[in-house]
Amino acid sequence: KQEVTQIPAALSVPEGENLVLNCSFTDSAIYNLQWFRQDPGKGLTSLLLIQSSQREQTSGRLNASLDKSSGRSTLYIAASQPGDSATYLCAVRDDYKLSFGAGTTVTVRA
Amino acid sequence: ETGVTQSPTHLIKTRGQQVTLRCSSQSGHNTVSWYQQALGQGPQFIFQYYREEENGRGNFPPRFSGLQFPNYSSELNVNALELDDSALYLCASSAGGGYTFGSGTRLTVV
The pLDDT tens digits for A77-96 are 999 999 999 999 999 998 88
Whether the upstream peptide bond of residue B61 has omega within 30° of 0, thus cis, is: no
Q: Is the pLDDT assigned to residue B96 strictly greater than 80? A: no
Q: Is the pLDDT assigned to residue B71 strictly greater than 90? A: no
Query: A91, A86, A87: which is closest to A23 by C-alpha?
Result: A91
CA distance B51 to B14: 33
Q: Is the pLDDT assigned to residue B27 strictly greater than 90? A: no
Q: Name the minimum distance, in Å, from the CA of A19 to any CA of chain B.
A: 20
CA distance B93 to B80: 27
Q: What is the pLDDT of residue B73?
A: 92
Q: What is the pLDDT of residue B1?
A: 44
- Which of chain B's residues have a Cβ under 8 Å away from the Cβ of A98? 33, 35, 43, 45, 92, 99
Average pLDDT over residues B55-75: 94
Minimal-distance CA residue of chain A relative to B41: A102
CB B68 within 8 A of CB B84: no
Residue to substitute from B35, B90, B101, B108, interface A, most A β-carbons within 10 A:
B101
Q: What is the pLDDT of residue B2?
A: 61
